[in-house]
């Protein structure tokens, strides 16, 4: 089969790799139908030192089960399934607590002998715990939205859930990337009345408005914080979703939060140290969020995608074939494309 492999910053190649086969009785092999490029893939694309051994890319995919191990009972050959961005058994104590990212038998795609999601097929460990059957056929127009359940929609939802968003709330979403936009959608779905989106890319913030953002702020830093406060009564916002991952975005989140406010972080921090000194304690600021247990959220979100209540697939605004994956990365890095869909 062919798969996308990264050898260093800006260096993505499509290579021939061995076809995946069942290795464990709990494995399934999934033939990829749709995949995509994650915002987090852009970090190594920008900074990975050149490496002799490539890194298999991709962790968001949807496909058709080709083969299953003898212990797999929940899915079978021919099923159309979506995979969350890490695999998990869905039975351990972490999974039971809704922390599938921390699953005791879980792990990531593209490492440890597991294929990446940006390839023609993937061996999925813990198939019963990981894969979710989709009650549509492989030609359904809903497929892009269903694909977002693997990561971005579940991640945006995690932000809204951990920030405690509920009916009537005012919510600030920092970042107009795919996760930020899905956080807008998730906040609205949970009943937020006012959703302020901070982002500078009009095409993206326009989609944010379509997803439910009531206000858009293009300014950043102190000026952006002042705008947030102006728009929301002066005290800041009680529920903030930080969907960028930079130090500057965290500083904005803290400055824009009201006393007693909750900041949910979704972006993987590009910093090791954050400004969590006396003022955050004196202001009772809570820092929460994290890596989404995307698998846990699929049962809740799937019906809303199927009936069209939410259409998160709109974040996938550029379509590429596997051979075009290097272009897909470049287009996302250059911000010509918000999130690249890969078709097989």
Residue placing its CB nearer to its own copies in the complex, 7 or 43: 43
284 touches its own copies (CB under 8 A) = yes
Please select the residue that binds its own copies; options are 30, 184, 244, 287, rule is CB under 8 A.
287
Residue placing its CB nearer to its own copies in the complex, 141 or 281: 281
CA distances from 34 to 55, 81, 198, 316 (A): 20, 11, 30, 11
- Quick one: DSSP state of residue 196? E
Q: Contact 303/146 with Cβ under 8 angstroms?
A: no
164 touches its own copies (CB under 8 A) = no
99 touches its own copies (CB under 8 A) = yes
- Binding to its own copies (CB under 8 A) within 305-344 occurs at none
What DSSP string describes 149-179?
A: GGTHHHHHHHHHHHTT--TT-EEEEE--SHH
Beta strand ranges found along 60-138 (DSSP E):
61-68, 80-83, 86-87, 107-108, 121-124, 132-133
Count of residues near its own copies by CB under 8 A:
34
Which residues, 6 or more positions from 210, have their beta carbon under 8 angstroms from its beta carbon? Answer: 314
Residue placing its CB nearer to its own copies in the complex, 105 or 140: 105
Please select the residue that binds its own copies; options are 141, 277, 307, 334, rule is CB under 8 A.
277
Please select the residue that binds its own copies; options are 282, 307, 308, 334, rule is CB under 8 A.
282
Looking up tokens 């290795």, which residue turns up? 23
Minimal distance, residue 139 CB to its own copies, in Å: 36
10 touches its own copies (CB under 8 A) = no
Please select the residue that binds its own copies; options are 280, 319, 324, 343, rule is CB under 8 A.
280
Taking alpha carbons only, the member of 79, 62, 12, 78 closest to residue 42 is 12
CA distances from 71 to 25, 74, 124, 231, 270 (A): 5, 9, 13, 56, 40
Tell me how far apart the alpha carbons of residues 110 and 125 are, in angstroms, rounded to a whole number. 12
168 touches its own copies (CB under 8 A) = no
Region of 75-83, 97-105, 141-149, 306-314 interacting with its own copies (CB under 8 A): 97-105
Minimal distance, residue 251 CB to its own copies, in Å: 12
Which residues of this chain interact with its own copies, rule CB under 8 A? 94, 97-99, 101-102, 162, 250, 259-260, 265, 267-269, 271-278, 280-291
């Amino acid at each position: 089969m062919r798969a996308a492999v990264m050898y260093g910053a800006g260096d993505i190649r499509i290579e021939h790799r061995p076809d995946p086969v069942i290795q464990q009785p709990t494995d399934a092999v999934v033939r990829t139908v749709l995949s995509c490029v994650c915002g987090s893939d852009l970090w190594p694309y920008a900074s990975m030192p050149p490496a002799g051994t490539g890194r298999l890319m991709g962790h968001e995919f949807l496909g058709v089960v080709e083969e299953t191990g003898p212990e797999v009972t929940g899915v079978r050959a021919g099923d159309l399934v979506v995979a969350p961005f890490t695999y998990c058994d869905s039975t351990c104590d972490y999974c039971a607590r809704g922390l599938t990212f921390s699953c005791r038998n879980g792990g990531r795609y593209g490492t440890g002998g597991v294929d990446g999601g940006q390839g023609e097929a993937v061996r999925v460990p813990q198939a019963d715990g990981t894969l979710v059957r989709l009650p549509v056929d492989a030609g359904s127009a809903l497929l892009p939205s269903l694909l977002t359940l693997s990561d971005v929609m579940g991640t945006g939802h995690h932000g809204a859930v951990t920030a405690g968003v509920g009916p009537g709330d005012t919510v600030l979403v920092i970042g107009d990337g795919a996760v930020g936009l899905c956080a807008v959608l998730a906040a609205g779905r949970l009943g937020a009345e006012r959703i302020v989106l901070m982002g500078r890319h009009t095409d993206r913030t326009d989609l944010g408005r379509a997803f439910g953002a009531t206000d858009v702020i293009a300014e950043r830093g102190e000026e952006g914080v002042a705008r947030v406060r102006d728009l929301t009564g002066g005290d800041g916002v009680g529920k903030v979703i930080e969907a960028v991952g930079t130090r500057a975005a965290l500083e904005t989140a803290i400055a824009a939060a009201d006393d007693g406010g909750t900041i949910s972080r979704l972006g993987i921090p590009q910093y090791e140290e954050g400004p969590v000194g006396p003022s955050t304690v004196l202001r009772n600021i809570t820092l929460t969020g994290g890596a989404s247990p995307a698998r846990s959220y699929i049962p809740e979100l799937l019906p809303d995608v199927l009936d069209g209540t939410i259409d998160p697939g709109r974040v996938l605004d550029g379509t590429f074939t596997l051979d075009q994956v290097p272009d897909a990365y470049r287009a996302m890095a250059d911000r010509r494309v918000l999130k690249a869909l890969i078709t097989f």
